[in-house]
């Protein structure tokens, strides 16, 4: 059984100077694309589901797809994770549904309230052997119903607060605000991540796993294809991959990627439908969309440094 929590993955990632890719799944093709990349690369994997994904596909479908993935790939350690749980009740629901990891994102609440709700989730989850990611500081951008702040630079995680937060809440990993942003329109100019924030938190919390959200690079090749074939995304911009690679070598153990999956599949589907206007068999565009995801994820695993690390994370 390769369904695992994230403890061992993060321990190995910290030791080895790499990060685990946490990819958002919404349907079968996206999941298959991600998983076939991970299997070829022999990487550990975090499959994450948002409330939006749950609403779109239904948890029984998502769980059934994930169960097939887990049973067909016993050599790949796979954690299932709730992305951006907004309340204790949401987190409880995912714990009860068998997820091995949940995120409580109470980062918009005042510090004390964030600690209180995180602690409540930790108590419930730990009693059932489930790990908890929390968030302190705020990101920019928009992802589904998670709307970020305008000026990311003013809402970075404060290192001393991070120490107090982790100690008092008991969370297992912490999503930090270090200049990233959700979605395809992250920045207007080439961003500089606050590596000093990551460094300071890591110094104050040695051995503690940090998480980076909003980590899509918004790869030019997909944006260009989308624009070429009828799309309209002129100002899309993401986090440069060198920055992601650098963070992965630091205390960032989990890197969240959703937008790059969406762009890869959309670009390929747009291209096929534009080039073959008489095509009406969904398999003829969803299949190549799935392949595009696979190729993109293989590349990401390389950037994160987690190719070949499946066995040591079991």
Hey, how many other C-beta atoms are within 10 angstroms of the C-beta on 47? 27
Least Å distance, CB 281 to ligand 13P, is 29
The DSSP bridge pattern shows strands 20-24 and 140-143 to be unpaired
CB of 311 to ligand 13P, least distance (A): 27
Instruction: Give the nearer residue to ligand 13P in terms of CB position, either 12 or 175.
Output: 175
The reply to whether 214 sits near ligand 13P by the rule CB under 6 A is: yes
Between residues 213 and 294, which has the closer beta carbon with respect to ligand 13P?
Answer: 213
Closer to ligand 13P by CB, 231 or 272: give it: 231
For the chain, give the number of residues: 314
Query: By CB neighbour count within 10 A (0-12 exposed, 13-18 middle, 19+ buried), where does 227 fall?
Result: middle
Residues 307, 291: Cα–Cα separation, whole Å = 18
Query: What does the angle CA 268 – CA 265 – CA 292 come to, to the nearest 5 degrees?
Result: 70
Q: What tokens were used for 267?
A: 């670009």
- 258 sits near ligand 13P (criterion: CB under 6 A): yes
Enumerate residues 65-94 that contact ligand 13P by CB under 6 A: 83-84
- Residue closer to ligand 13P (CB basis): 213 or 309: 213
Contact segment (CB under 6 A) with ligand 13P among 70-78, 89-97, 250-258, 286-294 equals 250-258
What are the two backbone dihedrals, phi and then psi, of residue 164, each rounded to the nearest 5 degrees? -60, -40
Contact mark string toward ligand 13P, 155..194, x via CB under 6 A: ---------------------------xx-----------
83 carries an active-site annotation: yes
Please identify, using beta-carbon distances, which residue of 109 and 142 lies nearer to ligand 13P.
Answer: 142
We find the least distance from the C-beta atom of residue 83 to ligand 13P, in angstroms, to be: 5
Sign of CA dihedral 13, 161, 83, 120: positive
β-bridge pairing 45-50 and 20-24: parallel
Binder of ligand 13P out of 256, 266, 271, 307 (CB under 6 A): 256
- The CB-of-219 to ligand 13P minimum distance in angstroms stands at 11
Ramachandran quadrant class, 84 (left: phi over 0; alpha: psi -120 to 50; beta: rest): left
Number of residues that bind ligand 13P (CB under 6 A): 15
Please tell me the distance from the alpha carbon of residue 95 to that of residue 210, in angstroms, as a whole number.
21
Q: Give me the sheet containing 140-143, strands edge to edge.
A: 146-147, 140-143, 181-182
- Binding ligand 13P (rule: CB under 6 A), the pick from 31, 101, 259, 271 is 259
**CB half-sphere exposure, 28, CA atoms < 13 A:** 8
Nearest distance in Å: CB 214, ligand 13P: 4
Please state the closest distance from residue 256 (CB atom) to ligand 13P, in A.
3
Helix axes 28-41, 282-304, angle to 10 degrees: 40
Which positions lie near ligand 13P, rule CB under 6 A?
A: 24, 83-84, 143, 182-183, 213-216, 256-260
């Amino acid at each position: 059984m390769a369904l695992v929590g994230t403890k061992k993955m993060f321990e190995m990632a910290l030791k080895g100077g790499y990060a685990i890719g946490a990819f958002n799944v919404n349907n079968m093709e996206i999941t298959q694309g991600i998983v076939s990349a991970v299997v070829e690369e022999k990487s550990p994997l975090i499959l994450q589901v948002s409330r939006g994904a749950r609403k779109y596909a239904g948890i029984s479908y998502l769980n059934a797809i994930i169960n097939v993935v887990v049973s067909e790939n016993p050599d790949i350690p796979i954690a299932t994770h709730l992305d951006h749980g907004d309340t204790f009740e949401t987190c409880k629901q995912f714990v009860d549904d068998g997820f091995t990891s949940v995120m409580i994102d109470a980062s918009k609440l005042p510090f004390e309230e964030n600690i209180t709700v995180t602690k409540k989730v930790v108590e419930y989850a730990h009693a059932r052997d489930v790990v908890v990611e929390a968030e302190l500081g705020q990101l920019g951008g928009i992802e589904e119903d998670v709307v970020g702040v305008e000026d990311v630079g003013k809402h970075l995680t404060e290192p001393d607060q991070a120490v107090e937060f982790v100690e008092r809440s008991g969370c297992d990993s912490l999503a930090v605000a270090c200049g990233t942003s959700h979605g395809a329109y992250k920045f207007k100019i080439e961003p500089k991540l606050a590596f000093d924030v990551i460094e300071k938190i890591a110094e104050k919390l040695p051995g503690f796993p940090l998480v980076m959200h909003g980590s899509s690079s918004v790869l030019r090749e997909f944006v260009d294809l989308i624009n070429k074939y009828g799309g309209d995304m002129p100002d899309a911009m993401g986090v440069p991959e060198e920055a992601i690679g650098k963070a992965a070598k630091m205390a960032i153990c989990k890197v969240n990627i959703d937008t790059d999956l969406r762009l890869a599949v959309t670009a390929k589907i747009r291209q096929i439908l534009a080039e073959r206007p008489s095509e009406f068999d969904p398999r003829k565009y969803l299949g190549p969309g799935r392949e595009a995801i696979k190729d993109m994820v293989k590349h990401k695993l390389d950037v994160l440094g987690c190719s070949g690390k499946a066995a040591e994370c079991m």
